[in-house]
Each structure stands twice: as C-alpha cells, then as structure tokens.
Structure 1
Amino acid sequence: IGNSPLIDVVGTGGDGSHSFNISTTAAFVVAGAGYKVAKHGNVGVSSKSGAADVLAALGVHTRLTAEQAADCIEEVGMAFLFAPAFHPAMRHAIMPRRQLAARTVFNILGPLTNPASATHMLIGVFDPSLTEPMANVLGQMGVIAAFVVHGADGLDELSITGVNRVSHLLNGQVETFELDPIELGLPRAALADLQGGEPAENAEITRGILSGQISGPKRDAVLLNAAAALSTETRDFANGLRIAGQSIDSGAALGVMEGFVKMTKGFAE
C-alpha cells in the first residue's frame, strides 16, 4: 500500500452497550480525511450488529480477497478485512461464540490480528485492565502508534458519556491517561443517546452522520473516535476533531462510503 500510514479503527466488542457502529462510522471519517484505512472486523457475535453486518446493510460486499482489499485502499482509501476470510480457523468459532453470547479470548485476539499489518491503530476494549497490556503487545508486534481505549459506561470505544481510559503507544513506549471529552468542547451525553439497533437501523445512523443529517451526541462520538485515530502520533485531539469535522462537512467521508460500496459491488458481480 505504499509508505503511507495504514490505520485500523476496531473494537473488541462484548461491551453489552447496544451502541450503534461508532468505530465503523469513524473509519469512513478517517478515510475521508485522506488517510488509508484497513478496517478489520466480523459479524456481530455478542451484539446485534458487528462491523460486517452494518457494512452489508450499507451495501458493501464484505468478503474481499487480499488483492481486492488492497485495490480498495488505493482507489477509495478504505477496505474491510472480514476476519473469518483472512483467519480461516476463526470461522469455526463463530457459532460457539454466538451460543455462549459472552466475551471470549477471540474478542481480544481479533483486533490484534489485522491481516494488513496496520501501522497505526485505535482499539477499543471492553475491560479497562486490558488497555495497557494490549498497547504493549501492539508495540511488540511493530505497530508504530496506537490508542487502546476503554470508554465511560464500559464502551469498547471512546465515549462522550464520561471520562475514558487511554493507553497511548508511540515508538515502543506506553503511557496511560484519562481523556475527558468535555475538555475538548464535546458536551456530555447519556448512553441512551448512542443506542443503535439492528444492522439496517445502524446503517441509517451511519449514513445520516456522514451525510450531515444527524448531529448531536452520535456525531460527537464518531468525531471523538475519528480524532483519536487521526492523532495516534501527535496526541493532538483538538486538531483531530477539526480534521474529522471537515471530513464530514466537506462530503469527503460520505464520498468514501459511496465509493467503497460501488467498488465492492463491482467485485461481487
């Protein structure tokens, strides 16, 4: 994919929050800002709508080969890497995981096994005690810069409902701190404000945010996560928020989504 940073925005799932697909929506915003995104994900196992589910509801053909994914990154700035297609052994775990309906080691393994070897990552985890160990593992795997985050209210992404725990990896060093969105000018919201539903409903929320029709807490949550993904090296969240806002307001993020849908449909024909 050339020498530009390759970014993944991914959560472990298993947070039980029933929020809409914040990281997937944020991935389009990051790509709209001109960065290359390799979004790794799966169908929902402990939730109604995983990344693959909401993308399929948006019209994306999610089962891409490695070559097709690379083409998408070059052409539209984003690809989706469907975990079972790239890690065949994990396929056999989907049904047992659904039957357990609980968090398993696969929730943790998934975000650590990006097939495109993303150099920069925003990973959300369901347990605050995981942020630091996972950041250290990413460093050992050669990831250049990453935020591993646990959100207020237990979200596996940055939340605008309260203070977030963040472990920052940069060049092998990990530092952990708290991030309060209020300090960035984002108003507090309730967890109910971030609720999603079935994949079709979540797809409408994603489309609404990217098209500028949905503002308020849902947009703010996406902006905060996109800002983090955009500032894994600089830690300049304020500038990240500005860039993320421009990505949506200029129509660039929506353009990435529409281009991605069109390109993957071409592969499916």
Structure 2
Amino acid sequence: RIKGETVEEIRGAARVMRDRATPIRVGRTLDIDRDEINLDRESILDTCGTGGSGTRSFNISTTVALVVASCGVRVAKHGNRSVSSACGSADVLEALGVNLDITPEQVAETIERVGVGFLYAPALHGAMKHAIGPRREIGIRTIFNILGPLTNPAGADRQVLGVFRGDLVEPLAEVLAGLGCRRGFVVHGSDGMDEITLTGPTRMAAIADGRVTTGIINPGDFGFATCRLEDLQGGDAACNANIVRAILDGEAGPKRDVVLLNAAYALVAADGAADPHQGLRLAAEAIDSGRARQTLDRLVEVTNGF
C-alpha cells in the first residue's frame, strides 16, 4: 500500500523500471550503453493515468489518445488490463478490435503509420508481470499504480497524467519534471477522477521547461455545464467500446465534452495547441470531421495486418 513515498523514491523506482523495460524505438535512434538517444525525433505524448480512482468512469484517456493522434500528435499510449477498475485501456482497445499481440517493433511501426500505438505494460515490463496477480487479488492501490504512467517504454516526453489522489498532483509533477518530461499536466478531479472532470474543479500541476506550477481547471471556463459523476461512468469492455465509438461518431453529451476538455490539455502538452481553448476547437474538429474515427479504424486495420 502507498505509504507516502518521497519524490526521490518514486523517481528512483521509475528510473529502474525504465531501464529494465523493453524499449519502443519510434523514429531514428542510437543505442549507447542502454541509453537510448532519439535523433531528430518528434515529441511523443502519453495519456496514461494511475487508475484506481474507483469512480467507474469510461476509458477517457484512451479515447483522448485517439482524438489527439488524429490532430497530428504522435501518441504512445501506455496501459494495462483492468487491475483496480472495471475496464482497463487494454480491455477496451481489444473490444474495439485492436490487436494487442504484436511485437515492440510492430508497436513502433504502428505509431509511425497511424499516429498512435498501444504499449501493453506487462509485455514491455517483463519483471512486473509477476505483480499482476497479487495486485488484482489485494484489490488496493499500490505504488505500481503510480509507476505505470512514469515508465513509458517509448520515452514519451509529453504527458497528461491523471492521479487518484489530490495530494499526489504536485509531487508526481516534480517526478515527471525530473525524469525529463518537456511539457505536461498532472490532474485530479474533485470527484476523485484521475482525469480532468466535468463534475466540478480539477486540481492541476503544469510542467514546462523543468518547472512546475499549480492551478485549477474549471469546466465553466470553457463553456461546459457541470454534470453528474454518473454521466461519465461506463461499464465493462463491451459497454465502454460502444461509448468510445459513439463519441468518435459525433454523439453529443457530457462524455464527448469530458474527452474534448482532456484532449485540449493533451494538445497543449504536445505543443499541438497554443492554449486549451484552441485545443478544444481542434479536438472538436477532429471528431466532427470524422478523422478521430478514421484513426481508430486505421489502428484496428494496421494492428491486425501484421
């Protein structure tokens, strides 16, 4: 159980996991004594959160990854099956038809060809697969909830990281800054969600140029009405896959709106938008034009073609 690890302890554990992970090499790379140098590479974004919020929200960050990728951002979505939630990112992507049983090289190729790829944590963090069963059995949040989003095997340098506890926001932003995150946001909704929420304010820490600043995100500042937590909840993998398809097909409502708001900040983190208001417009256009749904369809096609 999380006892209140220090920034230094979390950062150290994350570095060990990163060193032992199977790397996903996107773009031209040079390997020197296990230190991977990417040459002329574009930035890579991850939208992986901690999970464990207990709010039963649908797979918001996974939907966001598809929307942001359709805006031209390269996304390496790190994730897992359900451990402490009803439906993990791997579960919903599989229900959407994405083939997860591909090699690290094929994951990298998928990111190059589609703009987004899924990094299945147990396949890339070999030492951690032994923790899956015990984590599921004890059913409580552990340090592994925190380490997952900090150990992207593609070396994502842009990130939106949702956390299950408000007091983790600033410390994990400091951890990310120390791990080389160039720009990102760590967020926690007032309703407990490990996402930017629409039910009320969201606590936020922004990372830019090695510095961390804190603030609050209010849905009303973007023209969104507050909603109930039930409006953002999902179910099992089949249910959540239907929700994702409906959003990408243009269905209106709080679920679309929460994806737009989270995508807006993801686009800012990736330098795909100057500010969240512009990000909001770009994300809405990506859905309404059909590009976001095309990205999902292309992801299914490419991963099943290997």
TM-score (norm 1): 0.97
Pairing of 1:53-202 with structure 2 (within 5 A):
53-202=91-240
Tell me the CA shift for residue 181 of structure 1.
Answer: 1.1
Q: Distance in 2 between matches of 1:63 and 1:46?
A: 22
Q: Distance in 2 between matches of 1:264 and 1:189?
A: 36
Structure 1 residues 57-105: Cα deviation after superposition (integer angstroms, max 9, x where no partner) = 0011113322111111111100000000110111111111111111111
Higher-Rg member (1/2)? 2
Structure 1 residues 197-231: Cα deviation after superposition (integer angstroms, max 9, x where no partner) = 0000000000110011x211000010011111001
Partner of 1:242: 281
Q: Distance in 1 between matches of 2:144 and 2:65?
A: 22
Unaligned regions of 5+ residues in structure 1, if any?
none
Partner of 1:9: 47
Partner of 2:9: none
Q: Distance in 2 between matches of 1:45 and 1:235?
A: 36
1:34 alignment partner, SS class:
coil
Cα pair distance change 1:235/1:160, threshold 3 Å: farther
One-letter code of the match for 1:186? F
- Preserved contact between residue 54 and residue 202 of structure 1 (Cα < 8 Å): yes
Partner of 1:265: 304
Partner of 1:215: 252
Q: Distance in 2 between matches of 1:13 and 1:62?
A: 20
Tell me the CA shift for residue 131 of structure 1.
Answer: 1.0
One-letter code of the match for 1:8? D
TM-score (norm 2): 0.85
Q: Distance in 2 between matches of 1:111 and 1:259?
A: 25
Q: Distance in 1 between matches of 2:276 and 2:190?
A: 17
Q: Distance in 2 between matches of 1:143 and 1:61?
A: 29
Structure 1 residues 114-156: Cα deviation after superposition (integer angstroms, max 9, x where no partner) = 0000011000000111111111111111110010000120000
1:80 alignment partner, SS class:
strand
Name the Cα RMSD after superposition.
Answer: 1.0
Cα pair distance change 1:238/1:13, threshold 3 Å: same
Tell me the CA shift for residue 41 of structure 1.
Answer: 0.1
Tell me the CA shift for residue 235 of structure 1.
Answer: 6.5
Question: Within the alignment, does 1:29 sit opposite 2:67 as a pair?
Answer: yes
Q: Distance in 2 between matches of 1:250 and 1:263?
A: 21
Q: Distance in 1 between matches of 2:190 and 2:252?
A: 21
Q: Distance in 2 between matches of 1:125 and 1:194?
A: 17
1:10 alignment partner, SS class:
coil
Percent of paired sites with the same residue: 53
Tell me the CA shift for residue 258 of structure 1.
Answer: 0.4
1:189 alignment partner, SS class:
coil
One-letter code of the match for 1:67? E
- Write out the 4+ residue segments of structure 1 that deviate beyond 4 Å after TM superposition: none
